[in-house]
């Protein structure tokens, strides 16, 4: 009888230390493949494979496209690629970023649910914002077991807290007890097969190859009045029973919270661009005012002086708005 032999783990901020602890507590005869997504920036030269290999008995390597997925091994999503599993083989997806990340956690969880259903276990650990919550819910819908690190135990509690609130996981546990729990779950018989929602199939395909059509998006969501912060295209709203997400026809995806943060960042950028234009206007007005004064054109100089004063007042308003946007963003991170 098959056991839970696919262990998918997602983490972000604080994840390096959490993964080291987890790798150190897993047994050398673990009857499962361990798939890990840690948010890594593009072109980042990571030594996470060596770190995890040294932390515990299981070898850890960065996943290669088409590689067969073996038990007693840790596979890590490489920078700039989504990590997916398909028919016992690993796939690297080059679809659009999700939650402003590639690799993202949600695509791994969805692919594990689609591929392996009741054989899969999904784990969300320490991190900020909400990547992983939607994927964990999808994995559970496909028959998998879901685990979330206790937010009170996490270095950065927001990501596990979001997953706890949105996906109602099967187990909530502190980091110290997690290796023993996962070892127990791996040894248990796989769950019964479950019907895979069409939304999960569509989104795994998007993460794999990036092929998105408006007709696809119309099937899985409804068009909103919002624009994508990445490409400025139309966003479709996807409502999964209280978990609201957004995806554009290019494929960029956001949770509602991450979309709000991205829009705040876009607002700051727009205000900063306007402030820059005003600074250039101020510099030009000052130069023309001084030139007219030197040439004895006092009337023209006074006209430029008025324009200069007006532009300086407008610039002060915009700088105050930038400070306020930054204050609101900082307060949101502290809540």
User: Which one from 4, 5, 33, 39 is the annotated catalytic residue?
Assistant: 39
Of the residues 12, 55, 120, 167, only one is catalytic, namely 12
The active-site residue out of 5, 49, 106, 131 is 131
**Do 127 and 14 touch, CB atoms closer than 8 A?**
yes
What six digits make up the tokens of 157?
Answer: 């509690």
| Known catalytic residue at 12 | yes
Structure tokens at 249: 């026809």
Three-state DSSP class for 89?
strand
- Beta-bridge mates of residue 231: none
**For this structure, is 224 an active site residue?**
no
What are the angstrom distances between the C-alpha of 279 and each of 59, 79, 300, 316, 321? 56, 39, 21, 10, 15
Exposed, middle or buried, 113 (CB in 10 Å: 0-12/13-18/19+)? buried
Which structure tokens are listed for 190? Answer: 């796989």
Quote the DSSP letter at residue 191.
P
- Rounded Cα gap, residues 166 and 169, in angstroms: 9
Does residue 39 have an active-site annotation?
yes
Scanning the chain, the segments in alpha helix (DSSP H) are: 15-25, 48-55, 105-116, 133-141, 158-167, 178-187, 198-209, 214-220, 256-294, 298-334
In the 8-state DSSP scheme, what is residue 197? P
Is 29 exposed, middle or buried (CB count within 10 Å of its CB: 0-12, 13-18, 19+)? exposed
Q: Which residues are known catalytic residues?
A: 12, 39, 131
């Amino acid at each position: 009888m098959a056991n839970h032999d696919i262990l998918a783990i997602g983490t972000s901020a604080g994840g390096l230390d959490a993964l080291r602890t987890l790798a150190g507590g897993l047994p050398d005869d673990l009857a499962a493949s361990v798939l890990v997504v840690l948010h890594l920036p593009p072109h980042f030269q990571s030594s996470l494979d060596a770190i995890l290999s040294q932390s515990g008995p299981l070898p850890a390597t960065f996943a290669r496209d088409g590689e067969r997925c073996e038990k007693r091994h840790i596979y890590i999503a490489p920078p700039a690629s989504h990590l997916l599993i398909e028919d016992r083989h690993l796939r690297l997806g080059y679809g659009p970023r999700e939650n402003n990340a590639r690799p993202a956690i949600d695509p791994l969880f969805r692919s594990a649910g689609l591929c392996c259903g009741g054989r899969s276990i999904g784990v969300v650990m320490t991190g900020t914002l909400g990547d992983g919550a939607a994927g964990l819910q999808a994995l559970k819908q496909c028959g998998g077991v879901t685990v979330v690190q206790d937010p009170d135990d996490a270095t950065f509690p927001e990501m596990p807290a979001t997953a706890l609130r949105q996906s109602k996981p099967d187990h909530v546990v502190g980091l110290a007890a997690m290796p023993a729990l996962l070892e127990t779950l791996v040894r248990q018989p796989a769950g019964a097969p479950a019907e895979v929602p069409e939304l999960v199939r569509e989104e795994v395909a998007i993460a794999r190859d990036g092929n998105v059509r408006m007709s696809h998006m119309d099937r899985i969501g409804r068009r909103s009045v919002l624009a994508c912060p990445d490409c400025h295209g139309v966003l479709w709203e996807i409502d999964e029973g209280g978990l609201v997400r957004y995806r554009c026809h290019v494929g960029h995806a956001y949770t509602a919270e991450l979309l709000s943060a991205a829009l705040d960042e876009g607002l700051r950028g727009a205000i900063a661009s306007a402030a820059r234009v005003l600074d250039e206007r101020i510099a030009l007005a000052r130069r023309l005012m001084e030139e007219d004064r030197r040439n004895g054109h006092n009337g023209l100089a006074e006209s430029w002086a008025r324009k200069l004063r007006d532009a300086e007042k407008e610039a002060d308003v915009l700088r105050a708005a930038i400070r306020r946007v930054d204050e609101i963003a900082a307060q949101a991170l502290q809540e």
